[in-house]
Amino acid sequence: MLAEALLFAVTRLTSPRSRSAAVRDAIGLRARARRCHVAWAEHQARTRAAIDRAIDGVAVRRTVVVLGSGLLLDVPIDRLSSMFNRVVLVDIVHLPTVRLKVLLRRYPNVTFMTRDISGYDKLAEQSRIKLATGQDDLGVRLDPLGFLRKIDELDLVISANVLSQIAVGAVSRLHSKDGQARIMPDDAVAQLVAGHLDGLAQLPCKTVIVTDVSYIRRRRDGGVIETRDLLHGVTPPIPFDAWDWPVAPFGEESADEERVHHVIAAEDVAVDL
Ligand SMILES: C[S@@+](CC[C@H](N)C(=O)[O-])C[C@H]1O[C@@H](n2cnc3c(N)ncnc32)[C@H](O)[C@@H]1O
């Protein structure tokens, strides 16, 4: 508890622009990843394998961007650092423990970019303008990954288990006090999910996405308690691999219930027109 409070304080100092909820989530993820490391091992290995496959599919390896780099648990950082000239790790929060790991392992070509890639603030701004002007269509795209166009020599973009978290973050912001739920469109979360996939599809380089798309909560006898679509109705890209990830094995959230997420890996993301 004390260690986590200290980590929270140091992260707030080193990443002052990260929202405190995001810092708390990152610290919670770190603790859960430690508790569930056996149950999560296969998911992490398969995510790394999907990324390895994408690396092998790139002939020229100058700059690679990892979206949702998080704790670098499912990102083959050694291989990325040794095979690309430059590695840019993008996340809403970078814990100091991750920064330290990168420093100690001496990856001179790895840099951090702290950024909210959801597009939530832009959608809120567009919604405000629509309300104020009465215009239904502003004729502008959400473009949450537009910042990638400013990165030189981009050859690979990896979306590393971040898409469902964009949706989770948006839902909790919508329900928060100043979440602007009253001005946001009803399908705000779906628009943000679609915006991420659209953003990947627009990129002129190779892309790979690994994301959980749904979950099921089950009792020990196999009885289903709940299923949920984590992409809020948005069609996921066609996967080349798919697997189940026991995010909360029995005993993690409840003694008699487990929550298992279905994960897909897809390359060269394209969206239906
Ligand atoms: C399940 S974790 C990904 C795990 C990570 N790939 C790893 O190897 O440890 C989801 C990550 O998405 C990040 N994230 C969630 N919402 C985000 C947002 N709106 N913008 C940027 N990153 C976000 C979280 O901070 C977290 O690090």
The answer to whether the CB of 118 is under 6 A from ligand 1 is yes
60 CA to centre of ligand 1 in angstroms: 27
The 10s digit of each residue's pLDDT in 85-138 is 999 999 999 999 999 999 998 899 999 999 999 999 999 999 999 888 888 787
User: And the tokens for 63?
Assistant: 């700059």
The 10s digit of each residue's pLDDT in 172-186 is 999 988 778 888 999
Tell me which long-range contacts 21-27 makes (C-beta under 8 A, separation of at least 24). 21/169, 21/172, 22/92, 22/93, 22/116, 22/169, 23/93, 25/93, 25/169, 26/70, 26/71, 26/93, 26/95, 27/95
The answer to whether the CB of 169 is under 6 A from ligand 1 is yes
Tell me if residue 144 falls in helix, strand or coil.
Answer: coil
Q: Which residue in this structure is represented by tokens 């390896």?
A: 61
Name 202's Cβ contacts closer than 8 Å, sequence gap at least 6.
145
| Structural domains for the chain | 39-272 (3.40.50)
9 CA to centre of ligand 1 in angstroms: 19
Q: Which residue in this structure is represented by tokens 């009885």?
A: 223
Q: How far apart are CA 89 and CA 81, in angstroms?
A: 11
The 10s digit of each residue's pLDDT in 200-220 is 999 999 999 999 999 999 999
Half-sphere exposure of 101 (CA within 13 A, CB side): 13
Q: In whole numbers, what is the pLDDT of the chain averaged over residues?
A: 94
The answer to whether the CB of 110 is under 6 A from ligand 1 is no
Q: What is the dihedral of CA 241, 244, 247, 249, to 10 degrees?
A: -160
- pLDDT of 273 > 70? The answer is no
Tell me if residue 116 falls in helix, strand or coil.
Answer: coil
The closest-lying atom of ligand 1 relative to the alpha carbon of residue 71 is 9
